[in-house]
Amino acid sequence: MREKLQRIQAEARKRIQESDGLDKLNEVRVAFLGKKGELTAVLKGMKDVAAEERPKVGQWVNETRAELEELLEETKKKLEAAALEQKLKEEVIDVTLPAKKMEVGHRHPNTIALEEVERIFIGMGYEVVEGPEVEYDLYNFEKLNIPEGHPAKDEQDTFYINKNIVLRTQTSPVQARVMEEGKLPIRMIAPGRVFRSDEVDATHSPSFHQIEGLVIDKHITFADLKGTLEEFAKELFGSETKTKFRPHHFPFTEPSAEVDVSCFKCGGKGCRFCKGSGWIEILGCGMVHPHVLEMCGIDPEEYTGFAFGVGLERIALLKYEIDDMRLLYENDTRFLRQF
Ligand code: DAH
């Protein structure tokens, strides 16, 4: 019996030492100490040992078992340490690698330009209001004196949701909405997105932005309109800026005008930027048509007012000297970071 145990022990030792991984080591443990293991088998066979021999044999078995368990435990620790070391070696961090950059966004030139326009008008006591992008035909056209059959209502120019609802083609419907609320006087600007059925090119997009302006009060005249817009142009493009009002037609204003500013690039001498004319067109404006006031519940005998509409992209393109509108919609951070 003694020899048998010594043989088992020697065999186990050898196999433990040969184990090159935790899995292998566990196999050895099962093979000798497990339920069906060799040493366990010896214990199970104790009933065949002569009674007087049993205590001694039992002691040997226990000693062998204790010794093997100790050896298994020691080897397990060594293998675990080796495995950890190996893992650390493989996962070593190269501190010389360039760090991952945190890409922080940048304010869009449209946003910068809008905030500038808002700052100027808020400084003159205007309120900033908003209207819906999906608008009733009634507000987008009818109440602005644009009746059935007007070319602006053509399907070529307008995105129709149905006969009565459109994607607004201008921010002017906000004028009608604010006037209808009936709180007078009014000094407001209304920035927002507008939609037209246009092909994309360097100066057109089916979706762009406008800033509407509206003032309604007693005794408002064309002189107020001129003074306001001259001041606006100077604040926006520099104090040297001159302003020119050209007669024009808009259905909802009478009289109407288009406003040009002296080219801030050449000061009016004529350059590539202003196409040689010395002037750059920036907005449309006029005195609110009496019929529009009436349709919106305001007495044109008591109140008068002026309105204007500016293209936001146009301002951004001019201010930052960008020559292609498409750049504004691509959201390429290399482009946006410049402003
Ligand atoms: N809504 C006009 C357009 O989109 C621009 C405009 C012109 C607005 C004259 C106005 C205005 O308020 O008075 O072409």
SS3 for 177-237 is HHHHHCCCCEEEEEEEEEECCCCCCCCCCCEEEEEEEEEEECCCCHHHHHHHHHHHHHHHH
Q: In degrees rounded to 5, what are phi and psi of residue 134?
A: -95, 115
The one-digit pLDDT tens for each residue of the chain (339 residues) are 778 888 888 888 898 988 888 888 888 889 888 888 888 888 788 888 888 888 888 888 888 888 888 988 999 998 889 889 988 888 888 889 888 888 888 899 999 999 999 999 999 999 999 999 999 999 999 999 999 999 878 877 899 999 999 999 999 999 999 999 999 999 999 999 999 999 999 889 999 999 999 999 999 999 999 999 999 999 999 999 999 999 999 999 999 999 999 998 898 999 988 899 999 999 999 999 999 999 999 999 999 999 999 999 999 999 999 989 999 999 888 999 999
Q: Which residues pair with 189 in a beta bridge?
A: 128, 213
Q: What is the pTM of this model?
A: 0.72
In the structure encoding, which two tokens stand for residue 139, read together?
């507000």
Tell me how crowded residue 250 is: count the other CB atoms within 10 A of its CB.
22
Q: Which of 170, 198, 258 to mutate to test the pocket of ligand 1 (most atoms within 8 A of CB)?
A: 170
State the DSSP string of 309-321.
Answer: EEEHHHHHHHHTT
Residue nearest to atom 8 of ligand 1 (CA): 309
Q: Which of 153, 212, 250, 306 to mutate to test the pocket of ligand 1 (most atoms within 8 A of CB)?
A: 250
Which residue intervals of the chain are DSSP H helices? Answer: 2-18, 22-33, 38-44, 54-90, 109-123, 137-140, 173-181, 222-237, 290-295, 312-319, 327-330, 333-336
254 is in an annotated binding site: yes
DSSP state of 142: G
Tell me how crowded residue 327 is: count the other CB atoms within 10 A of its CB.
16
**Is the minimum distance from the CB of 158 to ligand 1 under 6 angstroms?**
no
**Is the minimum distance from the CB of 250 to ligand 1 under 6 angstroms?**
yes
